[in-house]
Amino acid sequence: MADVHGRCDTAFTEVRNVFERQLESGNELGASIVVDVDGRVVVDLWGGWRDAGRREPWTEDTITNVWSATKMVTNLAALMLVDRGKLDPYAPVAKYWPEFAENGKDGIEVRHLLSHTSGVSGWEAPFRHEDMYDTERATRRLAAQAPWWEPGTASGYHAQTQGHLVGELVRRCAGTSLTDFVADEIAGPLGADFRIGAAEADWDRIAPVTPPPAESVDLDRIDRDGPAYKTLMRSPLNAETANTAAWRRAELGALNGHGNARSLARILKSLALDGTVDGVRLLSPETISLIFDEQSHGIDLVLGVPLRFGIGYALPETQTLPYAPQGRACYWGGWGGSLVIVDLDTRTTISYMMNKMGSGVIGSDRSETYVRAIHDCLR
């Protein structure tokens, strides 16, 4: 039997109970859940197992690959540069990265990269996922290619490319790599156990990801010249790749952040708290307001579901994530079900990270169960 550890306020006892039931049923392998309300941690739970063989328990300092929840930190880095006056979200990307203007991309603005509307949602073939590890070369290739749809007209999830695109802007505007910026300007000052990639000294406390259930895809129904196929199907990513040394050593700002619910909540609650956490200022309220400048709302050209994007984050959309708050809130998560929801109206941050990946596009049955239980407790 897997035990649940940590603490929660008595008002949130049902969240612990739900977590225990998920672990006991085997639906959950190992995970961590954190809820922060107005700067106070009211839930900080962890439990289960690091490994599929259920030999190594998930402990307080266990971290895991958080997949696209990484994007939330990467885009926070860009917004911090906006806040410092080094990056204008409404300026052409080419103002900071001249080479990006090639092949008709001179009109693409920074906000388009941050909202998945640039048309550069994947790499032109031939391209293998291992090619992402050479950050400089992979980024040059993105600068050289043409967009796959008219920029700014619709979102098409930049599943793998957003980290390279935004990371290059960080490098050019801050004079340092995305990995170092996150370490020195975000995780370090906040004391957050999060990193792009993973330091080798931390590998023994990483919970390897367990792939999601196999899903059949009717390739005959997918336009092979469309963004969905070219982004996701030309070189499908095997989830177990995240458990390799090469993956952990790479800088993949869209995909390979390592942390847990506590570290993601610690970082992203800055959005709920007017930009400042325990005296560490990351953003101004004025910059945070940019998140809610809607950039797209409709069927995403890559994921095929309704999505609404502001600058840097997804905004509430009743069909795709109906259990998220529908007011002034933002969210995103990672492949398999990890999720961070920031509700600015109630100054609440919910963070859930796990190693056993579920099915589905955004969120999972488990993340929905936890979020609904948390909201019931909040009420």
Helix (H), strand (E) at residue 36: strand 30-37
- Helices and strands: H and E segment counts in the chain: 12, 14
Give Cα separations from 227 to 46, 74, 113 (angstroms): 38, 23, 15
Of 8, 6, 62, which is closest to residue 30 (Cα–Cα)?
Answer: 62
What single DSSP character describes residue 136? H
User: So what's the pLDDT on residue 361?
Assistant: 78
Q: Two tokens at 216? A: 């059949």
Tell me the C-alpha to C-alpha distance, in Å, between residue 192 and each of 13, 96, 179.
25, 29, 14
Amino acid residing at 123: W
CA distances 188 to 59, 86, 124, 179, 185, Å, are: 22, 21, 36, 12, 6
85: CB partners within 8 A, 6+ apart: none
Distance CA 61, CA 73 (A): 19
Share of the chain above pLDDT 90, in %: 94
pLDDT at position 235, please?
78
Mean per-residue pLDDT over the chain, rounded: 96
Instruction: Judge whether residue 2 has pLDDT over 80.
Output: no
217 pLDDT above the threshold of 90: no
Torsions phi, psi for 231 (to 5 deg): -80, -45
Q: What is the rounded distance in angstroms from the CA atom of residue 78 to the CA atom of residue 98?
A: 18
Min mean pLDDT across 19-33, 161-175, 222-236, 262-276 is at 222-236
50-56 contacts: CB < 8 A, separation 24 or more? 50/206, 50/207, 50/208, 50/355, 51/207, 51/208, 52/208, 52/210, 52/356, 54/2, 54/29
Least confident of 245-249, 261-265, 317-321: 317-321
Token pair 């009717």 is found at: 218
Over 90: is that where the pLDDT of 221 sits? no
Task: List, for residues 335-348, the tens digit of each pLDDT value.
Answer: 999 999 999 999 99
User: How many whole angstroms separate alpha carbon 302 and alpha carbon 122?
Assistant: 10
Q: Confidence band (pLDDT; 50, 70, 90) for 222?
A: confident
Query: Helices marked H in the chain — which ranges?
Result: 13-25, 70-83, 110-114, 135-144, 162-174, 178-181, 188-190, 227-228, 245-249, 261-272, 285-290, 365-378
Higher-pLDDT residue of 57 and 224 is: 57
What are the Cα distances from residue 230, in Å, to 216, 236, 276, 302, 347?
18, 10, 40, 9, 39
Q: What is the pLDDT of residue 219?
A: 59
Is residue 314 a contact partner of residue 158, using CB atoms and an 8 Å limit? no
- Give the list of residues 6+ apart from residue 221 with CB closer than 8 angstroms, or none: none
Residue 215 is predicted with a pLDDT of 73
Helix, strand or coil, per DSSP, at residue 355: coil
pLDDT in tens, 53-95: 999 999 999 999 999 999 999 999 999 999 999 999 999 999 9
pLDDT interval class at 220 (50, 70, 90): low
Segments making up each domain of the chain, as ranges: 4-64+204-214+258-378
Q: How far apart are CA 248 and CA 33, in angstroms?
A: 23
To which residue do tokens 């098409």 refer? 156
Question: Domain 4-64+204-214+258-378 class?
Answer: alpha beta
Phi, psi of 281 (to 5 degrees): -95, 120
pLDDT class of 216 with cuts at 50, 70, 90 = low
- What span, in angstroms and rounded, lies between the C-alpha atoms of 237 and 224? 17
**Do β-strands 206-207 and 63-65 pair in parallel, antiparallel, or remain unpaired?**
parallel
